[in-house]
Amino acid sequence: MARLTYEQLIERFAEWAQGEGNIRAAVVVGSRARICPPADEWADLDIALVADDPRPYLHEADWVAKLGPYWLTFLEPTADGRSMERRVLFDGGLDVDFAVIPTKAVHEMIHSGAPPPDVADVFRRGAHILLDRDGLVARLRIAATEPVPAFPPTKACFLNVVSDFWYHALWTAKHLRRGELWWAKGCCDGHMKGLLCRMLEWHARAVRGPTHDTWFRGRFLEKWADPRAVQELRHTFAHYEKDDVWQALLATMKLFDGLARETAAHLHFPYPESSVEQVTQLVRRLHAARG
């Protein structure tokens, strides 16, 4: 029997959604609606569906089988945290994300005058409308075409991220000394990497100009981030081994410090050099005295 294709899944979903009055709109977003860069063989399928009542598509999964045989399905928050999505792994390994957005939320985006920056970014990169009973998606897409200036961080926001990073650098070192490897590695390769990604974005736009495209959440980071930083990233992630986490922590600190200093210089922000130096010295002492 021939395996499903993404094109077939899109056709089946569009036909099924037409018969679901509760679904007011549906649109393909992400890589399979994007022009640049286009979808490759590893791209998944992202469908945003707008429903008056999202519960039938979140609380139950019977409807998924109407689209095709699947291996597994589960729920998780969307990347922006505003909605929930049902993720499905269809037969053959086809992965599809169905983001279920309340109709009320879309109305609020439209009436606000401009969609949230992340929503606008998704629409500007490409969207293929499958269903739009009330013209909501068309209106949202028009609003999303308005250019959104990429404002640099405020001084307060910049310093908050810097302080957050160095606080958790010492926090991670202390947990390493205590022997809490899982906890320490989770912070070094989780929370601290999120702050590092934020600094990579700010640095790229500060150096290359505010219109430099940094995508979102690290997508295509290897293409837009500073090439020197991309090279150094290989040293910043750790195996589940104490000495390796120490080395990854120190490498992460060094990379973040360099990026933050250059970003501060370009944006004419102060940099808390004395505090950073004190934290760095204490982390190095803890590392040198490890058992």
Residue 54, domain member (yes or no): yes
Whichever domain contains 26, its CATH number is 3.30.460.10
Q: Is residue 1 part of a domain?
A: no
* Last-in-domain residue among 123, 144, 165: 144
Among 99, 118, 144, give the residue marking a domain's end: 144
User: Does residue 194 share a domain with residue 275?
Assistant: yes
**Count of domains for the chain:** 2
pLDDT of amino acid 48: 93
> What CATH number is given to the structural domain containing 278?
1.20.120.330
Residue 48 lies in a domain: yes
Block mean pLDDT (10 aa), the chain, length 291: 85 96 94 79 90 95 95 91 92 94 91 77 84 90 66 94 97 96 97 97 94 85 96 97 97 98 97 97 94 67
Report the alpha-carbon distance of residue 173 to residue 165 in Å, rounded: 12
Domain contains 150: no
**Domain range enclosing 240:** 155-288
Measured from the Cβ of residue 91, the count of other Cβ atoms closer than 10 Å reads: 12
Nearest to 187 by CA among 164, 158, 203, 218: 164
Predicted TM-score (pTM) of this structure: 0.77
